[in-house]
A and B are shown apart, each in its own frame.
Chain A
Amino acid sequence: MSSSKDAILGAIRRGLRRGPLPADQRAMLDGRLATHPRHLIPARSRVSRAEQIALFVKNVEKEFGTIERVPDAESVPAAIADYLAAQNLEPRFVMAPHPELTGLPWDRRPMLQLEARRARGDDAVSVQHAWAAVAETGTLLFPSDPARPTTLNLLPETEIAVLRATALVGAYEEAWDRLRAERGGAEPSGGFMPRNIMFVTGPSRSADIEQTLELGAHGPRRLHVVLVEDEPAARTLLSEVADPRPEAAREPVARPGEIANPAD
């Protein structure tokens, strides 16, 4: 045990006017760590499945992401090819070596050139596998994995995330529970956390220059979600679903090139 560690822990205990915690209290705290109780979860995500999906779509758009809904996984290659053409981008990209992506019928769009690997500094477009998404804030979750390299989220100027509707949850807490259930014991430590898990809400941005929002700082300037409607609720039209967000939550706080709103 390092002497600095002793000194720091000793000073904390002196401040708290006690010695090391007794065994029963330590057991209680370890119990809290093991059961990780939830706190308040905002009501906005505790809605029907169709409403959760609609909430996600609207939050992605509010944060300057774009989204396209396709009826099944087979439609993904065409959706990506059309998106790249519409953005005047070359039909070439680096893709996550994930079976749900590598197994898609890419040969139906023979123009597309793809490589399944991590990203390099000069890749323009990535296609990434979204492990989950959170409706509450329109957030995509990317746990690192041999099949889901982190650099795909960071280096290209355009990131396209393929998300199955069934992978969408309402609140962050549901995603944590799914991670614990799916990956518990997967790690050498017996834990469930991968090296890194990124929560991504919209494309990269900065407001460091005169507090004015600009998209595409160091990460992607465009974030495009291809949502595969692999459950019936996902096929409900947006117009048929009420927006569970209060009025104030529907508009972005600032648009690119704009200094938020005039003074309050």
Chain B
Amino acid sequence: MVALTSPDFKRRAARALADPRLQTALKRGGSGFHSKRSQAVAALPEFERLRDIGRDIKNHTLANLDHYLEAFEANVLANGGQVHWCRDAAEARATVLRICQAEGARTVTKGKSMISEEIGLNEHLEANGITPVETDLGEYILQLVNEPPSHIIAPAFHLNREDWEERFRAAHTDLPKDRVFHDRRDIMVEARQALRSRFLAADVGITGANFLIAETGSSVIVTNEGNGDLTQTLPRVHIALASIEKVVPTLEDCTSLLRLLARSATGQDLSVYTTFSTGIRRPGDLDGPEAYHVVLIDNGRSNMVGTDFHEMLRCIRCAACMNHCPVYGVAGGHSYGWVYPGPMGAVLTPSLVGLDKSGHLPNASTFCGRCESVCPVKIPLPKMMRHWREREFERHLTPSTIRSGLKLWAWFARRPGWYRAATRVGMGALALLGRGSGKFRRLPLAGGWTGGRDLPAPEPGGTFMARYAATQRRR
């Protein structure tokens, strides 16, 4: 399982900021995602209206989630597949292992699946003598180097070309040591060749699911490489892992969400491969699996229904929120310490693993609102981060210095005269101290703030209130 290290956010973020290779990777990837998304959105004049439709489809589904899950199950069964309902990670892991063992499986190929990371599937299979092989290019190298993904659609976002070359040289020992990688393509071709035989030899293929369709009992995956399709087509058995909120009612509903997904994620109109899998190989078919299992995983989601975090269940995992997040852009995915980084992770992780284990995450935000403004299903991410902060405060999980500081501020805020007086004094002192650089790297009594960020020094000219009063007088 991806070890949970979210409580370490501050320390990890500080380390990330000081890592020049990581900063190069983050900068390069971030700007690419921005421009690609904005170009794709500009090319579809209906995009804003589609966001409303996407939100409404998901809201309708969540309000009737029990019904649509049961309809989905009935249609999977009608097409010769099986559905396994799993309350938590342990039950899901055990279910997958049982299916693999019943097939006598030795190796399984895997398409990229965040829920697989969430339930810690690979470690469990390995511990039981089954070799999982990640086939998404990014996931493949991460498995080689034993690192968790740092981004939900670009798992190896944090690695540079030199990292790839180093690690491929170390892993592919059957190839000549002195071979030259002329360009990125050579790296990719080496992975393609290394994985080809694994695809053909695997007994079981495990994919995630971007959507489940109640109307037809289908699971849908979206990829650019084609690895997910090879994974679900070649082996005898296809297992699709999906969390319960992936279900949508009809093909038309799914289609509308697909118009949003790739544009928001990679800026493509549609991903290269969007595949709908339904049941097992039909009589006369020359390829396709003979068994189809959908492992339907709750793992904390049903507890979010009807709460302040209900709307988070609309998420279609496009990653636009992290691609546009200034905190993610400098701290990187690993700082968030679990499977889901960025704004969606800051909301989802406390919901799934508990606030006490992830308390810093909802604070990893500048509340700039960019995440909400790009979210294709209009999830109010900043509002939900604020909910978590309030709960953190109420449950006394906030460090005492912040608590007493806030209490002091509250006292002044209720007494405007005192507030103005105190800020006048404070501002004067700060402006004096910050002369020159315009910001503070260190400030007496405020190490908690300046340890992680710079505090901008006030502009000379007095407080906002004083300047406002002055302008009014001049009129």
Contact = CB atoms under 8 A, between A and B. Distances in A.
B187 interface: yes
Contact of A151 (B80, B164, B234): B234
Nearest to A198: B275
Interface residues of B, number: 119
A242 B32 CA distance: 30
A211 B32 contact: yes
Interface of A: 2, 4-5, 7-9, 11-17, 20-21, 25-26, 29-30, 32-33, 36-40, 42-44, 59, 63, 97, 117-118, 121, 136-139, 144-146, 149-151, 153-155, 172-173, 176, 187-212, 214, 216-220, 245-246, 248-249, 251, 253-254, 257, 259-264
Given A36-B215, A40-B53, A42-B46, A193 B154 contact: no
Contact of A193 (B31, B71, B79, B184): B79
Interface of B: 25, 28-29, 31-36, 38-40, 42-46, 49-50, 53, 57, 63-71, 75, 78-80, 85-87, 91, 135-138, 141, 154-157, 159-161, 164, 183-185, 187-189, 192, 195-197, 199-200, 214-218, 224-227, 229-230, 232-234, 244, 249-253, 255-256, 258-259, 266-282, 284-289, 296, 298, 302-307, 310
B152 to A, nearest CB: 13
A219 B285 contact: no
A39 B31 contact: no
Given A36-B252, A39-B256, A218 B278 contact: no
Given A155-B230, A195-B279, 10 more contacts: A16-B66, A36-B251, A118-B286, A118-B287, A198-B229, A204-B272, A208-B137, A210-B161, A218-B227, A248-B42
A50 B156 CA distance: 43
A5 B285 CA distance: 33
Query: Which 5 A-B pairs rank lowest in CB-CB distance, beginning with the nearest?
Result: A219-B226, A15-B305, A249-B43, A263-B31, A15-B306
A210 B28 contact: yes
A211 B276 contact: no
B192 A218 contact: yes
A132 to B, nearest CB: 14
A32 B38 CA distance: 34
A205 to B, nearest CB: 5
A50 B91 CA distance: 55
Contacts of A210: 25, 28-29, 159-161, 184
A217 B271 CA distance: 14
B68 to A, nearest CB: 7
Given A36-B251, A191-B79, A214-B188, A199 B38 contact: no
A21 B25 CA distance: 50
B187 to A, nearest CB: 6
A37 B278 contact: no
A202 B271 CA distance: 9
Contact of A15 (B71, B80, B91, B304): B304
A207 B272 contact: no
Given A9-B70, A145-B285, A254-B32, A199 B274 contact: yes
Given A5-B85, A198-B275, A257-B183, A209 B161 contact: yes
Contacts of B230: 154-155, 218-219
Contacts of B38: 264
15 contacts: A4-B85, A8-B69, A12-B65, A36-B252, A139-B270, A151-B234, A155-B230, A188-B80, A188-B282, A190-B78, A210-B28, A211-B29, A214-B184, A219-B273, A248-B42
A30 B70 CA distance: 11
B178 to A, nearest CB: 21
Contacts of B46: 40, 42-43
B161 A137 contact: no
B272 A253 contact: no
Contacts of A139: 270, 274
A193 B218 contact: yes
Nearest to B92: A4
Contact of A246 (B43, B214, B268): B43
A41 to B, nearest CB: 9
B256 A193 contact: no
Contact of A219 (B29, B187, B214, B229): B229
Contacts of B25: 210
B78 A189 contact: yes
A2 B87 CA distance: 11
A192 B70 CA distance: 19
B275 A32 contact: no
A241 B164 CA distance: 46
B255 A248 contact: no
Contacts of B270: 137, 139, 199, 201
A139 to B, nearest CB: 6
Nearest to B296: A8
Nearest to B300: A11
Contacts of A189: 75, 78-80, 279
A173 B80 CA distance: 26
B225 A217 contact: yes
A149 B75 contact: no
A127 to B, nearest CB: 15
Nearest to A145: B285
Contact of A262 (B35, B189, B251): B35
Nearest to B41: A248
A59 B302 CA distance: 41
Contacts of A42: 44-46, 259
Nearest to A179: B251
Nearest to B34: A264
Contact of B42 (A14, A207, A211, A246): A246
B107 to A, nearest CB: 15
Given A191-B78, A196-B277, A248-B39, A38 B252 contact: yes
A173 B40 CA distance: 21
A61 to B, nearest CB: 13
Nearest to A189: B78
Contact of B233 (A5, A176, A196, A248): A196
Contacts of B32: 211, 254, 259-261
Contacts of A121: 196-197, 199-200
B276 A201 contact: no
A160 B214 CA distance: 33
Contacts of A207: 154, 224, 266
